[in-house]
Structures are given as structure tokens and as C-alpha cells.
Amino acid sequence: MAKIDFGGVMEDVITSEEFSMEKARKALKDETVAVLGYGVQGPGQALNMRDNGIRVVIGQREGTASWNKAITDGFVPGKSLFPIEEAARKGTIIQYLLSDAGQVALWPKVKPCLKSGNALYFSHGFAITYRNQTGVVPPPNVDVIMVAPKGSGRTVRNNFLNGSGINSSYAVFQDFTGKATERTFALGIAIGSGYLFPTTFEKEVHSDLTGERGVLMGALAGVMEAQYTVLRKKGHSPSEAFNETVEELTQSLIRLVAENGMDWMYANCSTTAQRGALDWSPRFRDAVFPVFDELYESVVSGKETRRVLEANSRPDYRQGLEKELKAIRESEMWKAGAAVRSLRPENRKARKQ
């Protein structure tokens, strides 16, 4: 492990220097990794492992779009692509990468497929942390481990292909074989993690659910909508309102933050922008702090989990979801966004070809 100073707090992290891909291959040489679910995380992790020389089989419901995608990606029915239960029986490491609701629904069928000494792998702490609600209680004779990439499955794959990797957290919930930690490190490196940092199943899901509802998605969408709406009310055009709210953030400023941090982004903006941001940032922080506090408590209490499971179990959930997404897609703000994106030079060029 490497000790890294995170702003005065020392943390142990694992990189490919501490645990090489060669070491990962050696640790997994006798393993078959069964990836159950080929939706969000499944494709990126499975393809990266396959490219790294790990034996991978896919478990997915036959006839679905995800089954067909697996075939397109080179997995062969009857050889490396199977129905979920059959794949689970073939694996020594079972990557349980179905949706949270899917994990709950299929657990009664997957659990009997687990053999003594198997590893049950998650990329989210949801099912285990809230096992009183989900019913996902692993048998005592298997390893229970987690590698949680800090990004979408698409990013896991794209970052692997461009050589950058994606940061992931890891945890061991149950070590039956005595090699759970080694399996975890090997899988984390094999799926293309840039570095691995320790957590627990509980901390991962608490931070993840807070992040998704907060800065990463919910708060971001809400703040964007508020600013866009104010600018439109004050007479600014859709193009101007969208560019000042979204386009400049996503195409310029956030990239500067990603490169070298918030202070570096400030240093590379105008003095007018610097002063305004420094003055107003504390006001936004203080305004939303109580909301984040409430959000975190809602996550820890299990209230958010109940909401997810209840919503996803409704037979009309997909129709309701599409209605909500359609409302966003057809709002003026995001119609303006589609128009702005179409005017980017690369998109204009693509239209001409």
C-alpha cells in the first residue's frame, strides 16, 4: 500500500505499482468471474477484465437488449454468455452487478447457486448495508467483497481504453477463504481502477447515495434549473441562459477543476469572476448545508432505500420514469441545450460528412 497525504489526512491506497496487473492475473488464474447483469456497470467491468486476460462469463436474461449487447461485444451464448443462474453456477467469483432492485428480486434464485469458497462481489454497498430491507444476506461460507468505481460503467470502459483508469473504493465485508482482500485488489486492478481506496459497505453507500442526490446529479440539476429560470425571467435568451448556466461549466470550467483543482480554475479565470465566486461561494455553501445534512440523515436511516425499492417495484415504474425524463427532455432549458450541442464544431462537422 502507498500512504498518500489527502490534505493532512494520511490514507492507504492501492495502485498498479503496489498490485500489478501481472499479480492480478496470477491471483485470478484459477478463477472464473461471472458478471451478473450487463446493464450499467457490467459491460465496462467485463470487457476490461476480458481485455486483461481474465476468464469472464456473462449472466443476463435471454432476449433482452442487454443480452444482445453482450453478443455484440463478443460474448458467445453457451460459451461465455448464459442465463443468470447458469452463469452464477459457473463462476467462482460472482459479480452481482444487477440494479439494486434487480439484486433484491433475483437473490432467491442466485443465492442457491453460490458454492463454498466463492466470492460474492458488489460495486455498491446498497444490498448488504440495507439487508434488513433487501433480504440479501450472504451465506457464511463465501467471501463478500466490493470494488466501487467512482463513475458510470461507460466511464470505466472509456477511461480504460484511453489509459487513464478510474478511481474505485474497495471493502471486504466477509472473508471466509482468507484471500478475500487479495481477490478484491486483483479485481480492482483488472477492471481498470486508477487507484483503490479503502471504505466499508456502509460508508460507500452512504456517500454514494448522498453524492448522487447531491452534487453529482440532484443538486447540480436543481441549481442549473434555478439559474436558467432566473436569467430567462430577467429577459435573457435561451441560448445565453444555457451557455452561462451549463455550456461554460461543462465545456470549460469543470475541466480546469479536473486538471488541477478549484484554486487553479479560479486562477485561470478573470479577476471579476474570481472575486464574485469567492464572495458568493460561502453564501451558497451556507444555504445548502442544512439540505445536505437532512439528505445524509435520510440516507443513513434507510428512508432513501425504502423510496428506491418501493418505486422500482411498481409495475408502472418504467412508464412513470419515462414521463419524468420526458418532462426534462422537453423543457425549454434542455431543448436549448440540444440546440447548443448541435452547434459545437465537431457536431456541425459530423452533419456535413
Cα dist. 163→123, 131, 186, 328 in Å? 21, 36, 18, 34
State the DSSP code for 343: T
Give the cell for residue 319.
412508464
Which residues are identified as catalytic? 124
Return d(Cα 54, Cα 187) in angstroms, integer: 9
Give the cell for residue 76.
458467445
Largest CA distance in the chain: 67
Return d(Cα 178, Cα 159) in angstroms, integer: 32
Closest to 333 in 3D by CA, of 239, 203, 209: 239
Tell me the sheet residues that pair with 96.
Answer: 36
Residues 6+ apart with CB under 8 A from 86: 59
Buried b vs exposed e over 95-130: b needs ≥16 C-beta within 10 Å?
bbbbbbbbbbbbbeebbebbeeebbbbbbbbbbbbb
Residues 6+ apart with CB under 8 A from 335: 238, 329
Q: Identify the three-state secondary structure at position 242.
A: helix
User: What is the full DSSP assignment across 179-192?
Assistant: -HHHHHHHHHHHTT
